[in-house]
Structure 1
Amino acid sequence: MSKSKWFCLKKNSDNASIQSSISSSTSNKTLAVNELKIKAREKAVSKKLNDIKRLMEVDLCFVLDCTGTMGSHISAAKDCILQVSNYVKHINPNIKLRVGFCGYRDHDNGIDRLLVFDFTDQYEQFTQYMQNVTPIYNLDLAEDVLGGLNAAVTQMNWQNSTRVLLHICDYPPHGRRFSYLKDNHPNGDPYGLTAEDVLGRMQSNNILYFFGKITNHTDKMLEIFHDIIGEFPVFDLVGGDPLVLINKFIQATSSSITYAVSLTSTIVSSSNEINSMQRKKIIMNPNVPDWNTLSLQKGIVMWYHIPKTLDELKNPKYFDKSNLISKNFSYKVASQPFSSGVEKYAYFALDAKSDPTKDMVIKEYLHIGKRNNPLEKYLEAVEIFTVAYFLSTQFNSIAEQKNIPKVNFLNVKFLRYNTFCFTKYYTIEPKLQNSEYKRFNANTGVITELRPILEAFVHFTYEYTKGYLVVCDLQGIELNDDFLLTDPAIHCIDPLRFGGTNFGENGIKQLFLANHKCNDICKKLELSHVNNE
């Protein structure tokens, strides 16, 4: 071999060795970076799971008008609490509940004006106390509502992280501000209490307000309260048949508890942010716009192919940006959102080029944060949909054979809109039918509306993926023979996938396996029994 040829081979060998060394070094750096990311993510998830556990501890206070017309409601409050505690224990065993009571009458009642029974987890004691609460008639119609609410906020020993105040009354506070009913104190509370002071104190104590409505006499009060603290749930507690009323109380109380826990644990953040959810004054427009008045916009929609196998689903590289499919998209969108959740605004939209035109919904994240890549956030949402959709098709193929209603997900795509100055990102999906939108369960493990089929679907996703993930946070509409869902979340043993709502392997253990109770649908699907006893 000539010396020049030997040098050439030696040089090529050295270059290959250098390239191999560089490649190995790059690979090692990537692994090291991923390990750091995983450790940071696991630390953040551990904190969130501890926060969620803390937020499952609930203080529930009934604030009840105890004047002459409220006898049946006092009895219903007494009779419902044992059933509520049993319901919570069975459906959401991770929730720990203390219950208390604050009753109010009016200023003419002296020492009987206010009744306070502090929080306890001994529900029989609550029932015994309520047996001695009797309605008292007064000379006017307005009542000491503000005094009762103020006593509940300031005299009760609120300790738990999730704080629920369920207010039930049939007449408003004193003052012409609230009504023109017969009122011995038309200038307002004789002690100077105002709704702003009382409700502000309530929010500063991180107490969430719920209302049980009996008559239309409280409509103006509710309007004023909404202006002060924002939106809050209102339950129908109109009287009538005592058994029907008790069932309404059970439903309202259980819903208040699960709603509050779902809200606070979903946010998993500071109590100030929790309060801001009720206080926030976002300008909403619930009406579909006149599309003729809105200009046509052009963007690009992107989506992933649905995986064909479990291996493709488990492979993060399958969801690389380079695998996105895209096409041009012409649309119109409302200028104001019609709805807002914890994470997103929702806008009415129109697929303008389809024939006929299609009603759509465009969603935009409320808070992306300076450190987060908005593109990645929206791509995660589309990836979550794609995985959930694939698993629903596998579930439905078995469900159809066993006459089980199907679980379907809306087709979610990623929308990019470019201008000369900036790029905006959204998700876009078909508009749901005009049916009641419900949240059935949360990614925190809370079941808000028990549907055995959906709990079995969550179980199915765990078993089908061999423990790799669970699909949860199921919300949408319930039809006659199926469910149509949107915005799911995924807990996965890979903590770097599926965004901030993925609570990892420990999330699967603590929020699904520890709480799931196998039902008849699980048995029909022949799913392995989850043993959490």
Structure 2
Amino acid sequence: MNQKIRDDYNASNTHVCTICNSESAPELPICNTKLLEDRLRRYEDETGQINDASTLKDRVSYLRKHRENHVSKAIINIEDSMSVDLCFVLDCTGSMSPYIEAAKEHILKMASYVNRNNSNIKFWVSFCGYRDHYNRSDRLQILDFTDSLEKFKTYITNKVTAISNNDIAEDVLGGLNAAITEMTWSNANRVLIHIGDAPPHGRRFNTNLTDNYPDGDPNDLTAESVLKKMQLKKILYFFGKINTSTDVMLNVFREIIGEFPVFDLMTMGYKPEVLVNKFCRATSSAIFSSITLTTTLRNSKSIYSLQRKKLQINPHEPDWTTYSVKTGKLLCCIPPKTLTEIKDEYYSMQSSFIEQEISFKLAPQPFSVGAERYAYFALDTSLGRTNKLVIKKYHDIKIGTIEKYLESVEISNIAHFFSTKFNTAAKRVGINKKVTFIDVRVLYDKTNNAYYSVEKYIDNAKFKKFNANSGLITEFHSILEAFAHFTYKYTEGYLVVYDLQGVDLHNEFLLTDPAIHCVDLLRFGNSNLGKSGIQKCFLAKHECNDICRKLELTNDILEVRWG
């Protein structure tokens, strides 16, 4: 954020704020001054640096310095997160032969897929096979972490076979405990993928299956003790589900550690290629998910807190007839029309708003939760309409606070500006698939005196994350990577729009919630990693594709001037 007050806002100016209807004449309009104050206080809180400097200039200078330190730590965290400890914990009893084979066959294919667009991700893999107490010396098989994928594959080929057992329950807790305590976990990013078709011993995990130890693990292991060790070691848990026998176990685990990803590994009949592909998708997804979590939330405490929050979600749209109508106002920010406006750090704070009355219904529980926000089903009932909406609410924000929501709308409006410019340029060179950002507005809920962001709901669409602000590419699309490159070139190195997610339709990518890396660190929120983010999270990893070349984009580093 520039340290000067804009020249055209002087003491003689009078401004009427369309939000609070106040009239004033300071250096910035009073409502805008409050927005600036709120933003500075939020950034100070996020960096843990509170400054008592009396002038705006001193506060901005002080905060910028500490934001730079904050970003430096974030970049180091991102680099560390690209080194992954990947441990497979696998039930190796009689019914699991196809899955043992798939674990062996998928590892090289998975690594090739992940590294195709993310060459900086490095793997250390390990294996823990478990059976049951009846199997004595064959109860556990352990291969500690190795950076040789061939060694991993050879070990499973030569050493691991499925052995039958005399009851249904298995030594699940023993296998997990061995993987957690006997492996040499050393990297910052730690992933444990557990695959099994039977629960642990004990009545709490099953009531109808045969179990030689109905009172629980004979070595006195409990789910609580094992999973707490896992959390203390900052290991992220993923499960590959084969049948419904593990459903009760999964619910017990959720009560202890919160929600976690469960991958569908069910197959009808033995189809090796299908199973290997499912393993590849599951493992790749686990790696991408863990990198996204560790680079976004940056510490295990925040990750486990998010897992607890996910227990609150209800993925089903409610019966709207049972909920009352709320009233509110939609605040539509005037979008920027020029690059000069985009580079003006005060643009969003000095913009007017178009207000529109709205009546709506809001689901009581979120259907999704991300690193920063909950997402709720909502229904626009204004003028007899029944349009579906998505309302998003930040996890930790004071009631009545508008500034952070305005920032999210500003990011969306800027992304929309560039998508329009990109689509025009792309069409000229024969590229007709568009990049579009969903219109986002601020919603003021009069009933609860609260602000949210709101956007339209996309029916029957599969939501995907294509890339992340860390530079991770989870699903490569040349158009999206070229779009990000276009934003860098169009702004002469001032910013990059990335962290692209949404829906892949036939003729367009319909996107939402992007992030912006910008050389001005006092804009665009905590996900803005500044010049370092532009250079290390985008330029260093970007490889120009055919669309970049058609648009005559080059990967030169531009020295931007601003302020």
Q: TM-score under structure 1 normalisation?
A: 0.88
CA distance in structure 1 between the aligned counterparts of 2:473 and 2:153, rounded to whole angstroms: 26
- Kept in 1, the 8 Å contact 2:333–2:351? The answer is no
SS at 2:453's partner residue? Answer: strand
Residue 530 of structure 1 deviates from its aligned partner by 6.5
> For the residues of structure 1 that align with 2:163 and 2:314, how far apart are their CA atoms?
43
1:359 to 379, 388, 408: 388
| SS of the residue 1:320 aligns to | helix
**Aligned match of 1:175:** 202
1:355: Cα distance to partner? 4.9
Aligned to 1:377: 404
Q: CA deviation at 1:29?
A: 5.3
Structure 2: where are the runs of 5+ without partners? 1-26, 28-53, 558-563
Indicate which of 164, 171, 192 corresponds to 1:165. 192
**Secondary structure at 1:51's aligned position in 2?**
helix
Pairwise CA distance, 1:427? 0.7
Q: Using the alignment, how far apart are the partners of 2:79 and 2:266 within structure 1?
A: 35
Greater mean deviation of Cα atoms: 230-239 or 52-61: 230-239
SS in 2 for 1:501: coil
Query: SS where residue 64 of structure 2 aligns?
Result: helix
Paired residue for 1:267? Answer: 297
SS, match of residue 325 in structure 1 = strand
Hey, what's the Cα distance between the residues in 2 that align with 1:281 and 1:476?
20
Name the Cα RMSD after superposition.
2.3
* 1:496 and 2:525 matched: no
Whether contact under 8 Å (2:539, 2:555) holds in the other structure is no
The 3 A distance-change label for structure 1 pair 354 and 484 is farther
Partner SS state of residue 499, structure 1: coil
Partner of 2:219: 191
| C-alpha distance in structure 1 between counterparts of 2:374 and 2:243, whole Å | 33
Q: Which residue in 1 is equivalent to 2:288?
A: 258
State the alpha-carbon separation in 2 of the partners of residues 335 and 214 from structure 1: 33
1:222 aligns with 2:261: no
The counterpart of 1:319, out of the listed 344, 348, 360, is: 348
Query: Is the 2:84–2:189 Cα contact (8 Å) retained in structure 1?
Result: yes
How far apart in 1 are the matches of 2:477 and 2:462?
A: 15
Matches of 1:436 and 1:281, distance apart in 2: 19
Give, in angstroms, the shift of residue 282 of structure 1.
4.6
- Residue 149 in 1 paired to residue 176 in 2? yes
The residue aligned with 1:231 is: 259
Q: Is the 8 A contact 1:461 1:469 kept in 2?
A: yes
Q: Which residue is equivalent to 2:426?
A: 399
Deviation at 1:509, TM superposition (A): 0.7
Partner of 1:88: 114
**Which residue of structure 2 lines up, in the alignment, with residue 213 of structure 1?**
241
Deviation of residue 183 (structure 1)? Answer: 2.3
Contact 1:469–1:490, Cα closer than 8 Å, also in 2: yes
Please give the alpha-carbon distance, in whole angstroms, between the structure 2 residues aligned to 1:474 and 1:520: 19
Q: Which residue of 2 aligns with 1:13?
A: none
The code of the aligned residue for 2:232 comes to: S
Secondary structure of the 2:522 match is coil
Aligned equivalent of 1:8: none
> How much has 1:529 moved relative to structure 2?
4.3
- Name the residue aligned to 1:106: 132
Pair 1:350 & 2:350 matched: no
Residue 339 of structure 1, aligned match among 363, 368, 389: 368
Residue of 431, 434, 439 corresponding to 2:465? 439
Q: Structure 1, residues 317-372: CA drift from partner, whole Å, max 9, x if none? A: 322244333333332222222221111111222222145332111111002379xx
Are 2:510 and 1:480 aligned?
no
Offset of residue 310 of structure 1: 1.8
- CA distance in 2 between counterparts of 1:85 and 1:369 reads 44
Residue 267 of structure 1 and its aligned partner are, at CA, apart by: 0.9
Distance 2:310 2:111 in 1: 34
In the alignment, what sits opposite 1:3?
none
Contact 1:518–1:530 (CA under 8 A) maintained in structure 2 = no
Asked if the contact 1:170–1:214 (Cα under 8 Å) also holds between the matched residues in 2, the reply is yes
User: Are 2:89 and 2:128, in contact at CA under 8 Å, matched by a contact in 1?
Assistant: yes
SS at match of 1:392: helix
Q: Which of residues 251, 257, 276 is equivalent to 2:305? A: 276
**CA offset digits 1:258-317 (Å, max 9, x no partner):** 11110111112x322222222346533333333343333222222222222222222223
Q: Answer whether contact 1:228 1:279 (CA < 8 A) is retained.
A: no
- On the 8 A contact 1:517/1:530 being kept in 2, the answer is no
- Give the secondary-structure state (helix, strand or coil) at the position aligned to 2:509: strand
**Identity between Structure 1 and Structure 2 (%):** 54
CA distance in 2, matches of 1:285, 1:254: 26
Kindly indicate whether residue 250 of structure 2 is the aligned counterpart of residue 201 of structure 1.
no
- Quote the residue 1:389 is aligned against: 416
SS at match of 2:382: coil
**Matching residue of 1:470:** 496
Please tell me the residue identity of whatever aligns with 2:162.
P
3-state SS of paired residue (1:379): helix
Instruction: Flag the 1:164–1:495 CA change in 2: closer, same or farther, 3 A.
Output: same
Counterpart in the other structure of 1:7: none
Partners of 1:279 and 1:418 lie apart in 2 by 30
Post-superposition offset of 1:418 = 4.1
Aligned pair partner of 2:76 in 40, 47, 50 = 50
Q: What SS does structure 1 have at the residue aligned with 2:346?
A: helix
Aligned to 1:115, the other structure's residue is in SS state strand
Count of aligned positions: 501
Q: Does 1:130 align with 2:156?
A: yes
Q: 2:278 aligns with which of 232, 240, 248?
A: 248
Shift of 1:37: 2.5
Q: Is the 1:206–1:275 Cα contact (8 Å) retained in structure 2? A: no
In structure 2, which of residues 314, 325, 330 is the aligned counterpart of residue 285 of structure 1? 314
Q: Decide which moves more: 467-476 or 254-263.
A: 467-476
Alpha-carbon distance in structure 1 between the residues aligned to 2:317 and 2:506: 26
Matched, 1:307 2:336: yes
Quick check: 1:436–1:477 contact (8 Å CA) kept in 2? Answer: yes
**CA distance in 1 between partners of 2:235 and 2:57 (Å):** 45
The 8 Å contact of residues 213 and 237 in structure 1, kept in 2 or not, is answered as: yes
Q: Is the 8 A contact 1:440 1:474 kept in 2?
A: yes
- 3-state SS of paired residue (1:374): coil
Equivalent residue number for residue 19 of structure 1: none
- Provide the rounded CA distance (Å) in 2 between the counterparts of 1:298 and 1:144: 55
Inter-partner Cα distance in structure 2 for 1:363 and 1:321: 24
Matched letter for residue 546 of structure 2: D
What corresponds to 1:527 in structure 2?
553
Counterpart of 1:17 in structure 2 is: none
SS in 1 for 2:523: coil
Q: Which moved more, 1:41-50 or 1:290-299?
A: 290-299
8 Å contact 1:299–1:416 — kept in the other structure? yes
AA partner of residue 121 (structure 1): D
The verdict on how the C-alpha distance between 1:342 and 1:194 changes in structure 2, with shifts beyond 3 A counting, is same
Q: Secondary structure of the equivalent of 2:516? A: strand
Deviates more, 1:109-118 or 1:219-228: 219-228
Q: Which amino acid aligns with 2:507?
A: D
Partner of 1:37: 63
Match of 2:505, as an amino acid? L
**CA distance in structure 2 between the aligned counterparts of 1:350 and 1:37, rounded to whole angstroms:** 40
- Provide closer, same or farther for how the CA distance between residues 284 and 84 of structure 1 changes in structure 2, counting only shifts above 3 A: closer
Structure 1 residue 185, shift from structure 2 partner: 2.1
Q: Is the 8 A contact 1:64 1:102 kept in 2?
A: yes
Compared CA separation, residues 451 and 354, structure 1 to 2 (3 A): farther
Whole-angstrom CA distance in 1 between matches of 2:309 and 2:382: 36
